[in-house]
Amino acid sequence: MKIALSTESAADLTPERLKTLGVHRVPYTIIMGEETVHDGDRPIEDLYKFADETGQLPRTSAINVSEFVDYFENILKDNDAIIHLSLSSGITSSTEHAMEAAKKFSKPIYVIDSKVLSTGISLLVEYARHLIDKGLAPEEIVSKVEARIPYTQVSFVIETLEYLRKGGRCSALTAFAANMFGIKPEIVMTDGKLGSGTKHRGPMKKIVKEYIENTLKNNPNIDPFLCYVTYSTAPQDVLDMACEMVKKAGFKEVRTAQAGSTIGTHCGPHTLGILYFADGPHDD
């Protein structure tokens, strides 16, 4: 059985990594005033420039049922089944749309609600590819991937709540208070939804150091095979420090990934997180 692996642009996998893993990707739509582009067509810095110059936040549009039908149909021309990992249903309707589209095909399409975002999805994609390459049946692959979702550590520390406020994901009062007191909040993904974690103060390098130390302390049961250091924008010295810290924690591979438009639009500039499995080493 030939199984295709699929995900969305919100997974923030680079074109090179998508090619290496043999993963199909469907993009979200980004609306910047009168201009409509696909996630990945423009660098994230262009979106922040647009927001600064216009005072408007670029908008993201969920992938609709029709788009998924066309996308799945093309993949199934050369495959017997699809395993699709979607952005958390807690923050997008795309997952529901993918599930609805999957019902229209006779060939099996397994839509997994990742309940995470960004490179948290990438971790699950990497694991799914490993299981496909081992020759496991689709149902077993789905079961094993879903079992790891609750242990996918996804969190970020962000410079400003303004982008989340403009996107309707936090109140104006909360954003105002954070800005007034110089608070740099931590955003944690729990059961598919965004929530607040530790609140930090100070320059980015100090905040990132505190955040990584706290995250590794609170989620110590790492699977050392891979850790992502994911960011929207960040100074090189901060990225270097973050990578060095997680390497010292015992990860065998550390990858940096810049958030694409779908994720970066909501979190804003100078956002950084570490993402990894916190369920211990896996032999499978």
Digit-coded pLDDT (tens) for 7-37: 999 999 999 999 999 999 999 999 998 999 9
Looking up residue 145, the CATH number of its domain turns out to be 3.40.50.10170
Domain boundary among 126, 149, 172: 149
Q: Is residue 60 part of a domain?
A: yes
Q: Each residue of 242-251: pLDDT tens digit?
A: 999 999 999 9
Give 183's pLDDT tier (boundaries 50, 70, 90).
low
Tell me: do 78 and 169 sit in the same domain.
no
In this predicted model, what pLDDT tens digit does every residue of 94-120 receive, in sequence order?
999 999 999 999 999 999 999 999 999
- Single out the residue of 221, 213, 230, 199 nearest to residue 277, CA to CA: 221
pLDDT at res. 194: 83
| Count of domains observed in the chain | 2
> The domain that contains 228 carries what CATH number?
3.30.1180.10
Show the DSSP H helices in the chain as ranges.
Answer: 15-21, 44-54, 65-76, 94-102, 119-133, 138-148, 162-166, 172-180, 204-218, 236-248, 261-267
Residues 40 and 89 grouped into a single domain: yes
Helix H or strand E encompassing 7: strand 3-8
Do residues 192 and 205 both lie within one domain?
A: yes
Residues 211 and 219: their CA atoms lie apart, in Å, by 12
- Distance, CA of 16 to CA of 22 (rounded, Å): 10
pTM for this prediction: 0.92
User: What residues contact 1, with CB distance under 8 A and at least 6 apart?
Assistant: 80, 81, 137, 138
> Do 135 and 217 fall into the same domain?
no
Distance CA 42, CA 38 (A): 8
Query: For residues 71 and 63, what is the distance between their CA atoms, to the nearest angstrom?
Result: 10
pLDDT band of residue 164 (cuts 50, 70, 90) is: low
- What pLDDT does 185 receive? 80
Tokens (6 digits) for 245: 């810290």
In a domain, 259, yes or no: yes
Instruction: Choose the final residue of a domain: 88, 120, 149.
Output: 149
Domain that holds residue 79: 3-149
- In this structure, are 7 and 142 located in the same domain? yes
**pLDDT of 227:** 98
Please give the Cα distance from 268 to 218 (Å, whole number).
25
Question: What type of residue sits at position 127?
Answer: Y
Same domain (yes/no): 143, 160: no
Whether 162 and 135 share a structural domain: no
Q: Across the chain, what does the average pLDDT equal?
A: 90
Query: Is the pLDDT score of 182 beyond 90?
Result: no
CA-based torsion, 193, 199, 204, 210: positive or negative: negative
Question: Do 8 and 110 lie in a common domain?
Answer: yes
- Is 284 part of any domain? no
Domain contains 65: yes
Same-domain pairing of 203 and 268: yes
Looking at the structure, do residues 121 and 185 belong to the same domain, yes or no?
no
Query: Higher-confidence residue: 15 or 268?
Result: 15
Tokens of 283: 């032999």
Question: Average pLDDT for residues 147-167, to the nearest whole number?
Answer: 80
16/123 same-domain check: yes
What per-residue confidence (pLDDT) applies to 159?
A: 77
Tokens of 229: 């250091």
Confidence at residue 4, expressed as pLDDT on a 0 to 100 scale: 98
% pLDDT > 90, the chain? 75
Domain end among 149, 173, 191 = 149
